[in-house]
């Protein structure tokens, strides 16, 4: 089999790039390790930058997103007995974010690939990139007991943190940076009306909490828990009781509880791999970088990678211009590190660290006090939250 671009990973990043390139006449194939049902069962974040939403529309996948997504012009932070609002629209130059679940994004992308006959292979086993430094790289995988070879011009690794793509870069070339946080987020999805029209981030002495949503009838809530906790340690009743303890009284009073549809614990880490390209291989999304979910940068950071790769490949195939491909890693990493800084800052400001000393507690309080006393500080938060320019 011969295609121009072989994409490893059938999550939103790989599907979005495949769709965008296909619409421009560039032949792609997506190789996904798991079934479509497994991919669509993943519960992930759903706060989209305006730049990501624009990419979805360009990919002809934005109709349901625009119809069902919730436009948010701000969010609230509960701290020290008060509830302060961050006005994203005011402080970011009129921008906002769109709340729309990642599962729904992936579903829309799959349906778009089906509509125009996109090549997506599920249950592709033992996917392996070859000859990355040559001008004729290829990928092999196993399906139905047989080995299949895909010859291509370029390989894009969008196969997540545990995927094969990053591991295909030699260890003497690859450099990895990582910070692991000493807690996780216990998340519950419930078929209940959200407690608030906008997200509420909570800094509390018992630990961080977040009130989020997927729609007007589907809510997503989180509480910070130790890494030693397991999902089975938390009944629904225990979760709701702990969430109410951390919420301001007036918010807790209007919280609607119900059975959990999904419950999971996600550890928090910051991670960056450099470079994001090696020969004819390009990394995108979680294959190259991970952020704590506090700043809602994960999927959005992946989208910026796709934006740069998409335009670099257009320039190559339409104009013979390789400058975008050659400069991809440096350009992508410049924006990624800014997203890392913002996510780290939000995480450090809002979470209770188990080994934190009193001095650092006072610094946290001062950081929040300064944030809401300074328009410049709120402008910094807002412009990062809605998304820095690509």
CB 29 within 8 A of CB 15: no
- Measured in residues, the chain has a length of 390
Q: Could you give the CA distance from residue 51 to residue 308 in angstroms, rounded to a whole number?
A: 12
Q: Could you give the CA distance from residue 40 to residue 382 in angstroms, rounded to a whole number?
A: 31
Q: What is the pLDDT of residue 287?
A: 98
Q: What is the pLDDT of residue 311?
A: 98
* Nearest C-alpha neighbor of 291 from the set 348, 213, 248: 348
Give yes or no for residue 7 having a pLDDT over 80: yes
Q: Could you give the CA distance from residue 70 to residue 225 in angstroms, rounded to a whole number?
A: 28
The percent of residues in the chain predicted with pLDDT above 70, rounded, is 99
Give yes or no for residue 60 having a pLDDT over 90: yes
Average pLDDT estimate for 277-294: 97
Q: What is the pLDDT of residue 41?
A: 86
Burial 165-180 (b: 16+ CB within 10 A, else e): bbebbeeeeeeeeeee
Cis peptide before 247 (omega within 30 of 0): no
Give yes or no for residue 319 having a pLDDT over 90: yes
* Nearest C-alpha neighbor of 88 from the set 72, 101, 77: 72
Query: Tokens for 385?
Result: 């939250």
CB 328 within 8 A of CB 277: yes
Could you tell me the sign of the dihedral formed by the alpha carbons of 76, 222, 383, 61, in that order? negative
* Nearest C-alpha neighbor of 139 from the set 32, 229, 268, 6: 6
Give strand pairing partners of 311: none
CB 290 within 8 A of CB 164: no
Q: What is the pLDDT of residue 81?
A: 83
Q: Show the CA angle centred on residue 344, arms to residues 342 and 375, nearest 5°.
A: 40
Q: What is the pLDDT of residue 207?
A: 97
Average pLDDT estimate for 367-376: 97
Q: 3-state class of 281 per DSSP?
A: strand
Model's pTM, two decimal places? 0.95
Average pLDDT estimate for 224-250: 97
Q: How confident is the model at residue 370 (pLDDT cuts 50, 70, 90)?
A: very high
Average pLDDT estimate for 279-307: 96
Q: What is the pLDDT of residue 42?
A: 78
Q: Could you give the CA distance from residue 32 to residue 41 in angstroms, rounded to a whole number?
A: 14
pLDDT in tens, 337-367: 999 999 999 999 999 999 989 999 999 999 9
Mean pLDDT over all residues of the chain? 96
pLDDT in tens, 162-193: 999 999 999 999 999 999 999 999 999 999 99
Q: How confident is the model at residue 160 (pLDDT cuts 50, 70, 90)?
A: very high
Domains assigned to the chain: 5-71+97-178+269-352 (3.50.50.60)
Q: What is the pLDDT of residue 335?
A: 97
Q: How confident is the model at residue 46 (pLDDT cuts 50, 70, 90)?
A: confident
């Amino acid at each position: 089999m011969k295609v121009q671009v072989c994409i490893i990973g059938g999550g939103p990043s790989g599907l979005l790039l495949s769709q965008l390139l296909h619409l421009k006449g560039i032949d792609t194939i997506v190789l996904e390790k798991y079934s479509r049902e497994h991919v669509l069962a993943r519960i992930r974040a759903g706060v989209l930058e305006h730049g990501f939403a624009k990419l979805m529309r360009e990919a002809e996948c934005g109709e349901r997103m625009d119809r069902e997504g919730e436009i948010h012009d701000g969010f609230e932070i509960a701290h020290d007995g008060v509830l302060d609002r961050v006005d994203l629209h005011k402080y970011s130059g009129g921008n906002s974010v769109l709340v729309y679940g990642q599962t729904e994004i992936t579903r829309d992308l799959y349906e778009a690939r089906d509509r125009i006959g996109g090549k997506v292979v599920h249950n592709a086993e033992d996917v392996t990139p070859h000859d990355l430094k040559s001008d004729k790289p290829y990928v092999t995988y196993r399906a139905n007991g047989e080995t299949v070879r895909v010859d291509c011009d370029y390989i894009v690794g969008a196969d997540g943190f545990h995927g094969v793509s990053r591991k295909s870069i030699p260890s003497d070339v690859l450099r990895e940076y990582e910070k692991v946080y000493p807690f996780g987020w216990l998340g519950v999805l419930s078929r209940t009306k959200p407690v608030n029209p906008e997200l509420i981030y909570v800094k509390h002495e018992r630990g961080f909490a977040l009130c989020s949503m997927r729609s007007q009838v589907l809510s997503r809530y989180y509480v910070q828990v130790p890494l030693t906790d397991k999902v089975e340690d938390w009944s629904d009743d225990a979760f709701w009781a702990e969430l109410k303890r951390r919420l301001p009284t007036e918010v807790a009073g209007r919280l609607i509880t119900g059975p959990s549809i999904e419950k999971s614990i996600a550890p928090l880490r910051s991670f960056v791999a450099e470079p994001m390209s090696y020969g004819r291989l390009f990394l995108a999304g979680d294959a190259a970088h991970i952020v704590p979910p506090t700043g809602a940068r994960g999927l959005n950071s992946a989208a910026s990678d796709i934006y740069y790769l998409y335009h670099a490949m257009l320039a190559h195939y339409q104009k013979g211009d390789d400058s975008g491909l050659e400069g991809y890693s440096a350009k992508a990493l410049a924006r990624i590190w800014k997203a890392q800084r913002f996510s780290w800052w939000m995480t450090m400001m809002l979470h209770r660290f188990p080994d934190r000393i009193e001095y650092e507690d006072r610094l946290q309080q001062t950081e929040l006090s300064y944030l809401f006393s300074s328009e410049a500080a709120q402008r910094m938060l807002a412009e990062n939250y809605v998304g820095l320019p690509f």
